[in-house]
Structure 1
Amino acid sequence: MRVAIAGAGNVGRSIARELIANGHQVLLIEKDRSAIHRGAVPGAMWLEADACELSSLEEAELDRYDVAIAATGDDKANLVHSLLAKTEFGVPRTVGRVNHPGNEWMFDDQWGVDVSVSTPRLMSALVGEAVSTGDLVRLLTFTKSTTHLSEIRLPIGSRFIGRRIRDIELPGDAVLVALIRDGAPLPPERDRAFEASDELLFLVTQDSEPELAELFDPEGDAVED
């Protein structure tokens, strides 16, 4: 997969290294010459240019890329880059970094953003995930829908421990997509039994989220088997 990343700061470089490690081709676009450290991202292509300028993106041949990631520290630049990538170059998938929570509402399909990643919201969610057990924590919101990626960690003594996935009736539109056990991801096979401290990852709509939280509420011991 070919991925173009606007912004070669710490965030952009970290994303690039991860993508390259997974076999993808990466182009880093950075207008600040002092921020270009080619040796910091072995295997990446670099372009010293303004990612918000049409001529720069034409030089980058952005229309040949599968994904455009706007990862600068400037929300205005991220919005402009995403809009150009989507409307002028037809990039199939765009991802926009949100730096300031007050701007999050703008990162939608009207600005060409398919997926927005809010750094403050993600940090808050990760803090919640780190300190909470038994509570449903929202990790990620998808821009074009009301679907969220949410996580819950089963506490010791949970009534779900030992029960198989097939025996649990999830509410509404909730879908169990993976388990994390001892740091390793596991597929949600129907015959797999839950264990204490399992981290459960769900795709769930906003409407079904309260029901899912209630189902796994540690205080809800009266739930039917």
Structure 2
Amino acid sequence: MRVAIAGAGAVGRSIAGELLENGHEVLLVDKAPTAISVERVPQAEWLLADACEITSLDEAALQRCNVVIAATGDDKVNLVVSLLAKTEYGVPRVVARVNNPKNEWLFNEAWGVDVAVSTPRLMSALVEEAVSVGDLVRLLRFSHGDANLVELTLPPESAVAGTQVGEVAWPQDTSLVTIIRGSRVLTPGPEETLEAGDELLFVAAQAREEQLEDLLQVRRETPES
């Protein structure tokens, strides 16, 4: 897989290193001469150019890339790179870094963004995920289809604890991706029984999140007649 990364700062170089270790081709693009540090990621290709300019992206042969990552520290630049990558070069997958959470609403399909990664939001979500039981935590937003990766740790008195996956009336536009139970990662087949303490990962439409959380919440006591 060929990946172009706009922004050769600490974030861009770190991503490049991980991708190279996994056997991918990586091109780092940055307009600042001081950012071109070939010795730090010697296996990558480097290009001193402005990723917001068509001539630069032509030189980078962006049409040959499977993925473009807009990883600069400037949200405006990341949006422009994403839009050009998608509309001018037809890049199949565009991932963009969100620096200011207030700008997150802009990072969507209209700007060519397939996946927006907000570091502040992600850190906050990981904190919530670590301490929350029974509350739905949004881990990642996918621009296409307005879907999110969400997590919920099943509380002891959940209405679905002890129920098989196939017997649960899951909301429309939601999919249970995996069950984490202790050190085990389980494929959620229809006969798998949900247990209290299970960490459930879903891909769900944002409009269904509240319905999903209600379904997994604590049982409500039936009033005595």
What's the TM-score once normalised by structure 1's chain length?
0.87
Change (3 A) 1:191 1:42: farther
* Equivalent AA in structure 1 for residue 32 of structure 2: D
2:107 pairs with 1:110: no
Unaligned residue ranges in structure 2 (runs of 5+): none
2:207 pairs with 1:210: no
Partner of 1:154: 154
Give 1:162 shift. Answer: 4.2
Partner of 1:190: 190
Partner of 2:121: 121
SS of aligned partner of 1:18: helix
Unaligned residue ranges in structure 1 (runs of 5+): none
Please provide the CA RMSD for this pair.
Answer: 2.2
Distance 1:67 1:93 in 2: 5
Give 1:65 shift. Answer: 0.4
Give 1:88 shift. Answer: 2.1
Give 1:191 shift. Answer: 2.3
SS of aligned partner of 2:178: strand
Aligned residues between the structures: 222
Partner of 1:71: 71
Change (3 A) 1:92 1:136: same
SS of aligned partner of 1:185: strand
Equivalences for 1:11-50 in 2 at 5 Å?
11-41=11-41, 43-50=43-50
Partner of 1:92: 92
Give 1:5 shift. Answer: 0.7
Distance 2:193 2:15 in 1: 35
Partner of 1:140: 140
Distance 1:18 1:36 in 2: 18
Greater shift after overlay, 139-148 or 38-47?
Answer: 38-47
Q: After the TM superposition, which segments of 4 or more aligned residues of structure 1 sit over 6 Å from their partners?
A: none
2:174 pairs with 1:174: yes
CA contact (8 A) 2:4 2:68 kept: yes
Distance 1:55 1:185 in 2: 46
* Equivalent AA in structure 1 for residue 80 of structure 2: V
Change (3 A) 1:185 1:17: farther
Change (3 A) 1:221 1:6: farther
Give 1:22 shift. Answer: 2.7
CA contact (8 A) 2:157 2:219 kept: no
Give 1:86 shift. Answer: 1.7
Residues 55-89 of structure 1, C-alpha deviations (whole Å, 9 max, x = no match):
22111111110111101110111011112212222
SS of aligned partner of 2:104: helix
Greater shift after overlay, 199-208 or 106-115?
Answer: 106-115
